Structure 1
Amino acid sequence: MESLRREAPNPSRQIPPPRLEVSGLRRAFGGRDVVADLTLTIAAGQVTCLLGPSGCGKSTTLRMIAGVEHPDGGTIRIDGQVMSDGSGRFLPPESRGVGLMFQDFALFPHLTVAQNVAFGLGGDRAARDRRVGELLERINLVGYGAKYPHELSGGEQQRVALARALAPRPRVMLMDEPFSGLDNRLRDGIRDTTLEVLKEEGTAVLLVTHEPDEALRMADEIALMRDGLIVQRGSPYNIYNAPADRAAAAFFSDINVIRGISKGALTETPFGSFLTPGHADGGAVEIVIRPQHLKIDFDRGGRGPNPTPQDGTPARGTVTRARYLGRESLVDFRMDFDGSILTASVPGVFMPRPGTVLWLMMRRDRCFVFAA
């Protein structure tokens, strides 16, 4: 019984604060809000990706968290400690315990790899050497300590920049498009190495990018940003499969849009009836589907396949173009019902000639319905 009492959870035990907590962050330039009421939290060891198009406020948010840009409002906390707030409190970058990585590796050309990694380290020389050796081993650059940056490849320079940023053991790592300068062959491997090292260090990571593939590959959570606001937050799976609006869906992939009018919670389309509850009677709606979720079938003397509950009613179209992209083929169709163009993707090689008549069906469980 005594043992059970000792192991019982303590309800008064405090839950540690998030590693990074941002609330109500604002910044305006020339009277225009670049960042407006932005709020997010990141736990230790978590990778959050701030994703959005150029000019949406991503990098400005990063600079305010780093302390190189003064916010107009809001609060930034690291491990519960206030870095800046509306009362005028503002800690400089060197007092925040953050690491920074940018597209420009910014290695010191006159210093060796080991000297670059050790640049921000204090303590005695033996301790510095141990930390440098540990990091070079983690990034698979053992034996490179005496080399200079110009002797390294782009991928190797990126790994050295990562080691230098991690050397002081920052509580938060801020990364602004850090992989965009690498060619495609190197990028995936460097991303994976970087993610592995950051996870091992238990660092909270805020990664800024405009590339959806990078966000899906690296993030535990994605914060989709548009016009200075976070419009949706969630896991990569949820962001991709339950987009908040048409623009969110389109940011991750090409989309097809079927337009209609909701009447009695139903919208009639050439692909059959779609349930559209929650939309105003007589209101315009857009039914969105990605190219990979359109199903193609053959023409049978002017008839298509039979309707099914999952795929709905088939609609006929004529091929206008087909392209082979390696892993998949994209086929464009001009639809009989309104002359619109819909695009379907097919794994592997599928290259029907222009003018070929085929039928399309829409996977009901893969459609999104939004107000027009």
Structure 2
Amino acid sequence: MQTETPRLEIRNLKRSFEGRAVVDDVSLKIMPGQVTCLLGPSGCGKSTTLRMIAGVEMQDSGSIHVDGKLICDTIFRIPPERREIGLMFQDFALFPHLSVADNVAYGLRGTRAEKRERVKELLERVDLLRFIDGYPHQLSGGEQQRVALARALAPKPRIMLMDEPFSGLDNRLRDGIRDETLSILKEQDTAVLLVTHEPDEAMRMADEIALMRDGQIVQQGAPYNVYTRPIDRAAVSFFSDANVIRAEVSGALAHTAFGRFLAPGVPDGTAVDIVFRPQHVRIDFDRAGKGPLPTAADGTPARAIVKRARFMGNESLVEFEMDHDGSILKATVPNVFMPSEGTVMWLTIRRDKCFVFDVKT
């Protein structure tokens, strides 16, 4: 059985500046029509990786391949303009002195008539044909972004590199333009590498997420798997708020005020962090000084006092001070739930939604 060749493959890329490894042994494969998000905090090496693939930055070691063919290592190098790679950035970088049509046609080959036909086709696709002879300053931010998209797509690139391309847009425009962009790219079977520091954007757009930290890809997989099977505490926290309980393991169990948590394979005496998201905290009312009965699914209830409750639009966020140690835990509840400060409540935690990590690891 033949395995499909990746449209883009990078192998063991490394890049250092002044002795500091900015990109440290990064490898990725992206298939035709696949969207991969390189996700991570600012300064983790995402944009440098993109620039090396584009050819505007040279790697110290490693290689880059398109459709199975080497395009760049430390000896052989195809120039950026011959790599058939499209680029989209947060800065639309449209030429102010050129018309919309000339911006889109920039870099196209062929006769004037052929270029004009391709420009009209793309502007119609992004619903901007009426502005074909206008200029960038006459367009809104969202319209300029769509012109930049049309320009990037005009040469029919096999690969599209996108560096925070939607972060400068109004929230009301962002979702629509993101979805429209993805639709066009998938229609053309383009492999997409999108750099972002926003987990919501990665979850919305990606077929695969590569979570990057300190120059390395620490976890890679489908969005659902990266979110529900995080590799460590930092990975949980990057995607959402997280509560953390410190405990010690004895007999493969971590003992807490919320009952015991499974810690298979962890040696006795090991300190662990039990990490869970606010939406997986269950809240019960106080019943004459008592809470609900313990269950296998939710463990033992722990008494807490409401410190603050806020309505966030589609959910409510409640902060609790725990009786047993004074720590603060957060819980989110769908719709409106606004208990008064000082209200006594009982909290339990869904065992199947908790992650147990060795503190040292």
TM-score band (shorter)?
A: over 0.9
TM-score by length of 1: 0.95
Once the two structures are superposed, residues 101-151 of structure 1 have per-residue CA deviations (whole angstroms, 9 ceiling, x without a partner) of: 110001111111111111111111222122112111221222221111111
State how 1:54-65 maps to structure 2 within 5 Å: 54-65=42-53
Q: Give the Cα separation in 1 of the matches to 2:4 and 2:110.
A: 29
Q: Give the Cα separation in 2 of the matches to 1:225 and 1:134.
A: 37
Q: Give the Cα separation in 2 of the matches to 1:191 and 1:257.
A: 34
1:93 maps to amino acid: P
Structure 2 residue 3 is matched with structure 1 residue 33: no
Structure 2 equivalent of residue 294 of structure 1: 281
Q: Please list every run of 5 or more consecutive structure 1 residues that lacks an aligned counterpart in the other structure.
A: 1-10
Q: How far 1:15 moved relative to its partner?
A: 4.0
Once the two structures are superposed, residues 69-100 of structure 1 have per-residue CA deviations (whole angstroms, 9 ceiling, x without a partner) of: 000000101111212113x1122101111011
1:270 maps to amino acid: A
Q: Give the Cα separation in 2 of the matches to 1:304 and 1:94.
A: 67
State how 1:180-259 maps to structure 2 within 5 Å: 180-259=167-246
Identity of aligned residues (%): 69
Once the two structures are superposed, residues 281-315 of structure 1 have per-residue CA deviations (whole angstroms, 9 ceiling, x without a partner) of: 11011111100110100000110011112111111
Structure 2 residue 95 is matched with structure 1 residue 108: yes
Aligned to 1:51, which of 39, 44, 56?
A: 39
State how 1:112-191 maps to structure 2 within 5 Å: 112-191=99-178
1:45 maps to amino acid: G
1:58 maps to amino acid: K
Q: Give the Cα separation in 2 of the matches to 1:301 and 1:139.
A: 62
Structure 2 equivalent of residue 70 of structure 1: 58
2:355 maps to amino acid: F
Q: Please list every run of 5 or more consecutive structure 2 residues that lacks an aligned counterpart in the other structure.
A: none
Q: Give the Cα separation in 2 of the matches to 1:351 and 1:67.
A: 54
Q: Give the Cα separation in 2 of the matches to 1:120 and 1:307.
A: 67
Q: Secondary structure at the match of 1:121?
A: coil
Q: Secondary structure at the match of 2:37?
A: strand
Q: Give the Cα separation in 2 of the matches to 1:312 and 1:151.
A: 61
Q: Give the Cα separation in 2 of the matches to 1:15 and 1:48.
A: 19
2:56 maps to amino acid: V
Q: Give the Cα separation in 1 of the matches to 2:328 and 2:265.
A: 28
Q: Give the Cα separation in 1 of the matches to 2:327 and 2:310.
A: 19
Q: Give the Cα separation in 1 of the matches to 2:171 and 2:237.
A: 23
Q: Secondary structure at the match of 1:143?
A: helix
Q: Give the Cα separation in 2 of the matches to 1:17 and 1:192.
A: 26
Q: How far 1:348 moved relative to its partner?
A: 1.1
2:72 maps to amino acid: S
Once the two structures are superposed, residues 154-209 of structure 1 have per-residue CA deviations (whole angstroms, 9 ceiling, x without a partner) of: 11110110000010011110000101111111111111111111111111000000
State how 1:69-108 maps to structure 2 within 5 Å: 69-86=57-74, 88-108=75-95
Root-mean-square deviation (Å): 1.0
Q: Give the Cα separation in 1 of the matches to 2:273 and 2:283.
A: 21
2:213 maps to amino acid: R
- TM-aligned CA distance change 1:16 to 1:126, over 3 Å: farther
TM-score by length of 2: 0.98
Q: How far 1:16 moved relative to its partner?
A: 4.2
Structure 1 equivalent of residue 299 of structure 2: 312
